[in-house]
Amino acid sequence: MSGFSSEERAAPFTLEYRVFLKNEKGQYISPFHDIPIYADKDVFHMVVEVPRWSNAKMEIATKDPLNPIKQDVKKGKLRYVANLFPYKGYIWNYGAIPQTWEDPGHNDKHTGCCGDNDPIDVCEIGSKVCARGEIIRVKILGILAMIDEGETDWKVIAINVEDPDAANYNDINDVKRLKPGYLEATVDWFRRYKVPDGKPENQFAFNAEFKDKDFAVDIIKSTHDYWRALVTKKTDGKGISCMNTTVSESPFQCDPDAAKAIVDSWISGSITRKTKGISLEYKLILLHLICLKALDVKVVALNL
């Protein structure tokens, strides 16, 4: 067991819906910044955003304080992926590795494109359908270099270490051998999943071939370095919330009470989804966090 837990707020499939994460003490944390990248030697943590076979496009809210999971919104509408024949929704448990960041200011030497400004994505291929907000421990098997609308968007292939067959999977060739057709289906899915929305097919580096475990781990480690530069304010996050409760070298660290204030205000309805402003209560909380140096924003921006 990971010791982490999740807490849902508001109804699923609404603009207000959020999944907040807690540590083993029941304190609210950021799944982006506070969950360690490593669960054990050669084992990584994964934040499950989208359970296999589901369609709602859920993601870590990188610009919200504490980075809860929410449903992505495009032009004011909640986003869903289409059932792309012959697939039903996402064909793996989909999520992200915490404490990683694909830097939009870094031009990747492998793809020739800059990062997509998100934590690195993971496709977990085990037999269990995981829950949204679940934190699992995964073995890295390989990686796919997708180029999404001109941005580098790595897709890590991994398996839950608690899967009954996990011992049989140690590199990308094991996936080819034991799950014939699965990797080809993965490329096909990522290539075409935006086409029903009127977008062009996605492109890939390396001729859409998967790279092995060692290559994947090196990429993950590089995104961890970019994340550390982000959270220690050595890189401009351009609106990303780096509020955290555990990263001691980060100027954005805050105490658990400040983190709880964010969630309590969301629960009580003080945090609204207004497009042209935010509530007075939330402004006061933000001001408190600014005093704690937990948020890198200017007071004047809050119109206080």
pTM of the model: 0.90
Alpha carbon distance 171, 213 (integer Å)? 5
In this structure, what token pair is assigned to residue 74? 């495009």
Give the Cα separation of 267 and 262 in Å (integer): 9
Sites in the chain below the pLDDT cut of 70: 1, 267-304
Tell me, what's the pLDDT at 297? 46
Q: Rounded distance, CA 231 to CA 237, Å?
A: 8
Closest CA to 117 of 103, 128, 105, 129: 103
Parallel/antiparallel/unpaired status of strands 93-96 and 135-148: unpaired
Question: Residue 43 is encoded by which pair of tokens?
Answer: 């084992």
- Quick: pLDDT tens for 216-234: 999 999 999 999 999 999 9
**5-232: CATH number:** 3.90.80.10
What pLDDT sits at residue 300?
Answer: 36
Instruction: Report the pLDDT value the prediction gives residue 293, as an integer from 0 to 100.
Output: 52
The three-point CA angle 169-172-176 to 5° equals 90
Q: Which residue has the tokens 């959270």?
A: 231
Q: List every span in the chain annotated with CATH 3.90.80.10.
A: 5-232
Q: What is the DSSP letter of 50?
A: E
CA 91 – CA 151 distance, rounded (Å): 22
pLDDT of residue 227: 98
CA-based nearest residue to 132, from 14, 70, 50, 68: 50
**b or e along 26-36 (b: 16 or more beta carbons within 10 Å of the residue's beta carbon)?**
ebbbbbbbbbe
Q: What is residue 1's predicted lDDT score, i.e. its pLDDT?
A: 54
pLDDT, position 264: 82
Query: E strand or H helix at 139, and its extent?
Result: strand 135-148
Query: Using CA atoms in the order 272, 49, 195, 223, what is the torsion angle rounded to 10 degrees?
Result: 100
Distance of CA 137 to the CA centre of its chain: 15
pLDDT digits (tens, 9 = 90+) for 84-122: 999 999 999 999 999 999 999 999 999 999 999 999 999
CB 152 within 8 A of CB 102: yes
